[in-house]
Amino acid sequence: MSKRVTLSRRHLLAGLAGTAALPVLAPRAIAQTNARLVVIGGGFGGATAAKFLKHFLPNTSVTLIEPNETFVACPFSNLVIGGQREISQQAFTYDGLRALGIDVVHQTAGDVDVDAHTVSLLEGGGSVAYDKLIMSPGVDIRWGALEGYDEAAAEVMPHAWKAGAQTSLLRQQLEAMEDGGLVVMSAPLAPFRCPPGPYERASLIAHYLKTQKPASKLLILDAKDSFSKKPLFLEAWAKLYPDHLEWRGAADFGRVVSVDAPTMTLSTDFEDIAASVANVIPPQKAGEIAERAGVADETGWCPINPLDFSSTLQPDIHVIGDATIAAPMPKSAFSANLQAKFCAMQIARQVAGLDLEPTVLANTCYSYISPDQAISITGVYSNADGQLASIDGAGGLSPENADDSVRTAEAAQADTWFRTITQEAFG
Amino acid sequence: MIRKVRGLILAGLLAGAGLAACSPAATPDESVGAQANAGLSPVAGLALTCSGCHSSMGGGIADISDYTSEAIMTALDRYRLEVDGTTVMHRLTRGYSEDQLQAISDYLGAGQDE
Ligand SMILES: Cc1cc2nc3c(=O)[nH]c(=O)nc-3n(C[C@H](O)[C@H](O)[C@H](O)COP(=O)(O)OP(=O)(O)OC[C@H]3O[C@@H](n4cnc5c(N)ncnc54)[C@H](O)[C@@H]3O)c2cc1C
């Protein structure tokens, strides 16, 4: 036993040795039979991680800490806002994980004691001990970073950037709006969850207005001048929604500097705009528990060693998903799911005393431009040499000016993707 | 033996629901042995991406769980070489070397090759 442990340690260090810039944190040696593996956050990253830890290391104890009994998925929630889907179709339970022998604890992780290797539980008290901890807490809103946008304002001007009640609220407001109204969206600077998400949402809101409330209009106020899939979205908007959607970038005073919820006003450096419905997508940071665990840096996001997604700040903690600094990999459910599988594999390799091999990672994000048409962005990434880097010549966008058949085929692929990834994470 | 086990692990990954079938199969002592190690090889790492989209769900993305290695490699090669291809696979395959694609094909098709 001790021989294996030494081996696994040496191999791990050998694996890290190529990454001179990153601090090498001495990991706690663990053995297969009694390892305690704990995951914080049961979203796309965390649920997948728990399943694959159990898959690769069937005899370890795997505990998933997640407050909600039902997970409400963000991907495809823009179709709920657009009126194509019900919010109930976004809901997933943890029964599938329990059936695999994963201990699902419906509590909020209150704090992480990195020295004692324990996670304290907020509601029930007590704590859970870990040998290895994977954190996938997603994002939290930076309340107040946009002047006037606090939790009370979000009940009036929903962000709908965490799916659930916020998604339903925005949908209800759109339905209740009289025809002739002005819908205003505010999009933040990068980095934020789902880079093409605001523009997919804008497309589907514009589709709703065009077909149901034709005298109304959507204005997108953007803090940036460029955004994900921009040429494809601009092409789609010009073709599909010329009278119902206007995008204003930073150069045209699109950046919202403050909001006033009581008067439904969004202010730029140039003017104050009164909205009938306002969707404010605010600045974000890693889920708050990341800060408390000491795995987030001054940017609010979590630096990781991409060889195994281990935190560069704390030993025996791995961070995956939206919370990480993993650019050029985007903050997507696809990325979170793949990082989870790979991170679980690297932890299993370490337990088995195998070298931590680098790999090739990828991402695909589909965005609907109308209820039956979609576009995509892909990327392929190397995690060798201590950093994530896009592989030259690969990845990129769907073709511009493509036939409708290309767009409808991608919509069908998006649908299969959603059903597959949610099955892989929660099924 | 190893081939068969690989096929099993993969079938599980690709079927989505199949994970349940894999876990109880391992007994304590062999869990860090051949079976686990086959599933932990570098090519297994490369292939982790595939199961995010390919499953038995049906619809717009092919279920490749019954493809042979050759069938997978033929498809991947076509994607890689077709200059005016429009799908995500055209863009993704260009990020891998031919050796990597061949290894992924061999790995994913292993259960179907006999
Ligand atoms: C409108 C919209 C559309 C999107 N569309 C797509 C798409 O088409 N494709 C795509 O790939 N991605 C899409 N995304 C992005 C995707 O939702 C995220 O990238 C993904 O959810 C990230 O996974 P995660 O595990 O990091 O976080 P999450 O999935 O958000 O999971 C985090 C979990 O952690 C839990 N948690 C937080 N703090 C604690 C704590 N202290 N203790 C215990 N648990 C905690 C939360 O309750 C939550 O369940 C979209 C996002 C939005 C907003």
Q: Is the CB of A388 inside 8 Å of chain B's CB atoms?
A: no
SS3 category, B57: coil
Q: Is the CB of A330 under 6 A from ligand 1?
A: no
Q: CB neighbours of A2 closer than 8 A, spacing ≥ 6?
A: none
Strand-strand pairing, A389-390 and A373-382: antiparallel
pLDDT at residue B64 is higher than 60 = yes
Across the interface, which of A406, A414, A419 has its CB nearest the CB of B57? A419
Chain A residues inside the 8 Å CB shell of B80: none
Contact B32 A99 (CB under 8 A): no
| Residue B107 Cα to ligand 1 middle (Å) | 31
Q: What is the mean pLDDT of residues A171-178?
A: 98
Closest C-alpha to A208, from A374, A85, A74, A375? A85
Contact B55 A423 (CB under 8 A): yes
Residue A5 above 90 pLDDT? no
More confident residue, B53 or B29: B53
Instruction: Give the range among A6-20, A59-73, A101-115, A212-226 with minimum mean pLDDT.
Output: A6-20
Could you tell me the distance, in angstroms and rounded to a whole number, from the CA of residue A136 to the centre of ligand 1? 8
* Residue nearest atom 3 of ligand 1, based on CA coordinates: A75
Kindly report the CA angle at B61 between B72 and A340, in degrees rounded to 5? 85
Nearest residue on chain A to B9, judged by CA atoms?
A55
| Ligand 1 atom, smallest distance to A47 CA | 25
Confirm or reject: Cβ of A187 under 6 Å from ligand 1: no
Dist. CA A347 → ligand 1 center (Å): 22
Rounded CA-CA distance A182/A391 in Å is: 42
Q: Tell me: the pLDDT tens digits for A294-339?
A: 999 999 999 999 999 999 999 999 999 999 999 999 999 999 999 9
pLDDT tens-place string over residues A203-251 = 999 999 999 999 999 999 999 999 999 999 999 999 999 999 999 999 9
The pLDDT mean for chain A works out to 93
More confident residue, A176 or B33: A176
Is residue A344 scored above 50 in pLDDT? yes
B35 touches chain A (CB under 8 A): no
**Fold entry, domain A24-67+107-138+287-357+418-426:** FAD/NAD(P)-binding domain (3.50.50)
Report the CATH architecture of A151-280. 3-Layer(bba) Sandwich (3.50)
Task: Categorize the per-residue pLDDT at B31 as very low, low, confident or very high, splitting at 50, 70 and 90.
Answer: very low
Which positions ≥6 away from A3 have C-beta within 8 Å? none
Here the tokens at position A88 are: 């109930």
Sequence-distant contacts of A246-251: CB under 8 A, at least 24 apart: A246/A217, A246/A218, A246/A219, A246/A220, A247/A202, A247/A220, A247/A222, A248/A219, A248/A220, A248/A221, A248/A222, A249/A222, A249/A224, A249/A225, A250/A222, A250/A223, A250/A224, A250/A225, A251/A225
* A410-427 average pLDDT score: 98
Name the residue of A69, A105, A123, A194 to mutate for ligand 1: max ligand atoms within 8 A of Cβ. Answer: A194
Question: What is the per-residue pLDDT for A115?
Answer: 97
Domain boundaries, chain A: 24-67+107-138+287-357+418-426, 151-280
Does residue A20 carry a pLDDT above 70? no
pLDDT greater than 50 at residue B106: yes
CA of A75 to the centre of ligand 1 (A): 9
- Nearest residue (by CA) to ligand 1, atom 7, is A75
What's the whole-model pTM score?
0.91
Please check whether residue A246 touches B, CB under 8 A.
no
| Residue at B65: amino acid letter | S
The per-residue pLDDT of chain B, averaged, comes to: 76
Chain B interface test: which of A33, A423, A426 (most B C-beta within 10 Å): A423
- CA–CA–CA angle B21, B23, B29 (5° rounding): 135
Q: For residues A279 and A194, give the distance between their C-alpha atoms in angstroms, rounded to a whole number.
A: 16
Domain extents in chain B: 1-36, 43-114
Atom 45 (ligand 1): residue with closest C-alpha?
Answer: A41
* Ligand 1 neighbourhood includes A41 CB (under 6 angstroms): yes
At residue B111 the predicted structure's pLDDT band, cuts being 50, 70 and 90, is confident
CA angle A340, A343, A347 (to 5 degrees): 135
Contact A360 B91 (CB under 8 A): no
Query: Measured between CB atoms, does A345 come within 8 Å of chain B?
Result: yes
Q: Does domain B43-114 have CATH number 1.10.760.10?
A: yes
pLDDT score for A67: 98
Q: Which residues on B lie below 8 Å from A413 (Cβ)? A: 53, 59-61, 87-88
pLDDT for the residue A389: 98
**For residue A25, is pLDDT > 70?**
no
Q: Does the CB of B87 have a partner CB in chain A at under 8 Å?
A: yes
Banded pLDDT at A152 (limits 50, 70, 90): very high
Counting from 1 in the atom list of ligand 1, the atom nearest the Cα of A81 is: 1
pLDDT tens per residue, range A316-328: 999 999 999 999 9
**Quick check: A353 pLDDT over 50?**
yes
Task: Please tell me if the CB atom of residue A334 comes closer than 6 angstroms to any atom of ligand 1.
Answer: yes
In the reported structure, the alpha carbon of residue A138 is separated from the centroid of ligand 1 by a whole-number distance in angstroms of 5
Over residues B64-79, the mean pLDDT reads 97
- The CA A213 to ligand 1 mean position distance, Å, reads 31
ipTM: 0.90
CA B18, B23, B27, B31 dihedral sign is positive
pLDDT value, residue A331: 98
Burial B88-102 (b: 16+ CB within 10 A, else e): bbbbbbbbbeeebbb
- Quote the minimal CA–CA distance from B16 to chain A in Å: 5
**Confidence band (pLDDT; 50, 70, 90) for A8?**
very low
pLDDT in tens, A76-86: 999 999 999 99
Q: What is the best residue among A44, A320, A426 to mutate for testing ligand 1's pocket, by most ligand atoms within 8 Å of CB?
A: A44
What tokens appear for B85 in the block?
Answer: 């291809």
When pLDDT is cut at 50, 70 and 90, the band that residue A29 belongs to is low
Q: What pLDDT score was predicted for residue B5?
A: 35
